[in-house]
Amino acid sequence: GAVVSQHPSWVICKSGTSVKIECRSLDFQATTMFWYRQFPKQSLMLMATSNEGSKATYEQGVEKDKFLINHASLTLSTLTVTSAHPEDSSFYICSAQLAGETQYFGPGTRLLVL
């Protein structure tokens, strides 16, 4: 149980385009989902907390107009990187929280912006 999927697993796009990443909790309902960014050989950096039916809460320094988050249902949250640039290239990971406690993570999305 507690499986989280993420799609796509990797994406290459041209600079200036927008990319949408989906995060789904497959076998449980998650009122809260999280989006992280991870640079090589570093820990996870929380970008935003997404609660179902309400606006996401962004961490300091994360541009909310750049990284659009939608959490329309208890099993789906999306992250859209708008007008992506090479510096947005990274590994993006989502997680879904079960019963207000443990976070279960998706497999991650590798984004490369050319």
Partner 1 sequence: AQTVTQSQPEMSVQEAETVTLSCTYDTSENNYYLFWYKQPPSRQMILVIRQEAYKQQNATENRFSVNFQKAAKSFSLKISDSQLGDTAMYFCAFMNQGAQKLVFGQGTRLTINP
Nearest residue (CB) to partner 1, 17 versus 27: 27
Rounded Cα gap, residues 110 and 114, in angstroms: 13
Nearest residue (CB) to partner 1, 46 versus 74: 46
Nearest residue (CB) to partner 1, 46 versus 82: 46
Rounded Cα gap, residues 96 and 55, in angstroms: 16
The least distance separating partner 1 from the CB of residue 83, rounded to whole angstroms, comes to 26
Q: Which residues pair with 103 in a beta bridge?
A: 97
The least distance separating partner 1 from the CB of residue 41, rounded to whole angstroms, comes to 8
Contact 6, 23 (CB under 8 A): yes
Q: Which positions lie near partner 1, rule CB under 8 A?
A: 32, 34, 38, 42-44, 46, 49, 91, 93, 95, 97, 100-105, 107-108
4-7/19-25 β-pairing: antiparallel
The least distance separating partner 1 from the CB of residue 16, rounded to whole angstroms, comes to 27
Q: Which residues pair with 46 in a beta bridge?
A: 36
